[in-house]
Copies of this chain bind each other. A is one copy, B any other.
Amino acid sequence: MAPFEPATKGSGQEEGTDLRPRFDAAGLITAIAQDGETGEILMLAHMNAEALRLTLETGKAHYYSRSRQQIWLKGETSGNVQLVQSVLVDCDQDAVLIKVTMSGDRVACHTGRVTCFYRRVQRHADGGYSLAMDWRE
């Protein structure tokens, strides 16, 4: 049984009260994880329908690994589970925003940092770019 209603064309998708996730050709939707307390963006990942359903039903963020081609419970091995505060969809429902409380070490990135977004782009006078650490080690 398909767990969600299919996406539609028109205003129902954007203004309606039906959850109709618009999965892409690979069956995935983009998910942004945000710390519900600090507002910090933690990571960007993907969910298939089953990962989204598990996230909504268990209250723990589940994602779909495109490289491993399987669903994973975030924090299953590290202990850094993301407890879901709320799930929001965007206008055309092809992205979800998960506001979470982190448990464990409160680390979202596999590199051991709180967030995956720890480097800031710098532009140089010669037109080149580099990255600067934007994170309190």
List A residues at the B interface (Cβ < 8 Å). Answer: 4, 14-19, 30, 32, 34, 38-41, 43-44, 56-57, 86-91, 95-97, 109-111, 116-121, 123, 129-132, 134
- Assess whether B129 is in contact with A4, with CB atoms less than 8 Å apart: yes
Q: How far is the CA of A41 from the CA of B15 in the complex (A)?
A: 19
Q: A15-B111, A19-B121 are in contact. List 13 more A-B contacts (CB 8 A).
A: A17-B131, A18-B130, A32-B32, A32-B44, A41-B41, A56-B123, A57-B123, A86-B120, A86-B134, A88-B117, A90-B116, A91-B110, A96-B121
> Do B111 and A89 touch across chains, with their CB atoms under 8 A apart?
no
Copies in the complex: 2
Most buried by B among A14, A97, A121, A134: A121
Contact A130 B14 (CB under 8 A): no
How far, in Å, is A87 (CB) from chain B's closest CB? 4
CB of A134 within 8 A of CB of B18, answer no
A43 to B134, CA, bound (A): 22
